[in-house]
Amino acid sequence: MDVGDILEGWAELAGEPGVVFQGGPVSLDSALGVAVVPGGTGGQRAPLGWRRVHGAIGLVDLEAPPELLASVLGSLRIFAGYAGWGPGQLEDELVDGAWYVVESEPGDVSSPSPERLWREVLRRQRSELAMVATYPDDPSLN
């Protein structure tokens, strides 16, 4: 679904492909904005309507007027829903090896080819994890 179909004022600021991504199985009727402010804030105060998460990546208050951020955003992605864990659940899943934890690169959050991002991130790993990028989408069909 196009961003403009749901959040009309944010459509022009949304990066390609300009769609709402599914962010997780929880609360699919709510939206979350993830945006890059190039260069972070250079030690200055964060722009109104944006809260830093890591480096130049932050969360956008989608209830704020888009004009507040239009001049500072480098890219914006909108997600419907989120993933959530109970106390200790994520830590347990990490110990069990249920997740791959790798370093990100600045362009990952706004990749122009989101359908290829997972494989691209795995491929650049300097371990056996790079092999996982060659696995079929459904390994049971191999």
Q: Which distant-in-sequence residues (6+ apart) come within 8 Å of 130 by Cβ?
A: 122, 123, 124
Indicate the SS3 state at residue 133. helix
Specify the amino acid at residue 85: W
Do 19 and 63 fall into the same domain? yes
pLDDT score at 47: 85
Q: What are phi and psi of 114, to 5 degrees?
A: -60, -25
pLDDT score at 118: 93
pLDDT score at 56: 86
Q: Which two tokens stand for residue 48?
A: 């109104």
pLDDT score at 83: 85
- Domain of 110 in residue numbering reads as 86-135
Low-confidence ranges of the chain (pLDDT < 50): none
Contact 10, 76 (CB under 8 A): yes
Residue 100 lies in a domain: yes
Q: What is the pTM (predicted TM-score) of this model?
A: 0.81
Number of domains in the chain: 2
